[in-house]
Each structure stands twice: as structure tokens, then as C-alpha cells.
Amino acid sequence: VSAATWSAYDELGDEFVRRAEESPYNAYYDRPNTLSALGPVRGLSVLDAGCGPGVYAEQLVKDGATVVGFDASIEMVNRARSRLGDTATIDQLRLDERLPYPAASFDRALCALAIHYSSDRAMTFREFFRVLKPGGRVILSTQHPTVDWLRKGGSYFASQQETDSWATEHGEVEVTFWREPLSALCTAAIAAGFFIDLVHEPLPVASMEQVAPDTFAKLSQRPGFLILGLWKRDGTV
């Protein structure tokens, strides 16, 4: 049996906080692109699903949203709670279980780099659909399926759990995640009722070139992450 998908984050603790805050993939690639895809949030209620240490949630609060975040890792939950204080609610919950929030609670949901940790993406999308208000929208970022395939080999079409080994200051930490073809991810979202209204293969922001020129050059030529917009269409077709 593989370790829980969040146990690596319990182990990483502050080291992941630093990555989330500063690493080129987070600060200069995923965060600016997902927050821009989410659009203005002033006055909106936003669910931050798989919120980690709360770096995105903190920005959403600054931008005028009412934020509820959750994560399965108690270490991440504690760090998000101390970062956000009483400006947001942070719960310890899993992506692959029913959420305790009533139907139609949120205007937006953000799920940044976390869906590939859910062992039941169909359930995750059904819950996002349920807790969103009609007309609401999810912005989701994940590892680009072609990158997982190129890194791991085997069949592009397989949906299977994979393990990466991250070099950290405390040694190697094993991180398990799910890899699946693009069609499987999109089909799960569509089956839950969503319309896909954005397919974005983001580029790094220009300022990455100064801080991480090699990563900038690489991400300018090949994808790292994928961003999808999922819309809970208001009214009947």
C-alpha cells in the first residue's frame, strides 16, 4: 500500500512552505497563471482545495475574497492557519471524500497542483460541482499529462499511481501522485456536469528569466503544468 498522498507534505513542513513561496515553478509559473485565470475575486466566496500552506489563499484574501481552504496534511493546515489567522477558514479534509460544505456555497474554487493527489478525481469533481453556485467556476492546475508520460515512460494512456523522489535538506522524500491521460481528467470533469471553458498551457512569467534562467528556457519550450477552467453552467442548455 502506498503512503498517503499528503504524508510527504507532513514530512516536508517548512521546506514546502519555502518552495510554495519562492520556487520558480510556484512563484513565477503556477501562481501568477492560476490567479490570473481565476480573474477578479473581490466580494466572491472562494474555496481553495488542496491549499497547502495558504500562499494562494493569502493573496485571494488580499484581493477581497472570502476564503475557505482545505488540505489533507495537518502540517500544511497548521501553517495555513498561522499564515491566515482569522482572515480565512482552513479545514483538514481530503480531496477524495465528500466535503462538509452545503451545496451552492462558493462562487469560485481554486485547485492548484493538487488534483493529481486525489485517488478519486470523479468524486473530487462531483463535490466541486455540488459546492459551487450555478454559474460558478473552478480553476485547476496540474502536472501536464505529457510531462508525466515523458518523465515516467510506459503507456501515455495508463491511469496509475506514480512515485517521485524529492531531494530535500532532510534527505529524499517520496511523493506519490496519480498520472492519467488528458482525456481521463477532462472526462471526469465533464461527467460531473462541468463545461470546460479554459485550456491553458501556461508560460513562465518574464521575471523568471532573471531568477532561474534554465527553468525559464525549458518552460518556454515545453509544458510543465496545465490549467483548466471548469464552468458550472447557469440554466439549461
Candidate ranges 112-120, 166-174, 193-201, 218-226; the one touching ligand SAM (CB under 6 A): 112-120
- 117 is an interface residue for ligand SAM by CB under 6 A: yes
Instruction: Please say whether the beta carbons of 126 and 190 come within 8 A.
Output: no
Residue recorded with cell 535538506: 169
Q: How far apart are CA 52 and CA 71, in angstroms?
A: 6
Sole binder of ligand SAM in the list 6, 129, 178, 216 (CB under 6 A): 6
Candidate ranges 111-119, 159-167, 180-188, 191-199; the one touching ligand SAM (CB under 6 A): 111-119
Q: How far apart are CA 233 and CA 236, in angstroms?
A: 8
Q: How far apart are CA 205 and CA 219, in angstroms?
A: 10
Sole binder of ligand SAM in the list 60, 76, 109, 132 (CB under 6 A): 76
Sole binder of ligand SAM in the list 11, 20, 65, 189 (CB under 6 A): 20
Spell out where 115-170 has E strands.
132-143, 160-168
Residue with Cβ nearer ligand SAM (130 or 157) = 130
Q: What is the DSSP letter of 234?
A: S
Residue with Cβ nearer ligand SAM (140 or 212) = 140
Sole binder of ligand SAM in the list 51, 109, 189, 227 (CB under 6 A): 51
Q: How far apart are CA 163 and CA 177, in angstroms?
A: 6
Q: At what angle do helices 182-191 and 121-131 cross, to 10 degrees?
A: 40
Residues of the shown chain interacting with ligand SAM in the complex, contacts defined by CB under 6 A: 5-6, 9, 20, 50-52, 55-56, 71-73, 76, 94-96, 112-114, 117-118
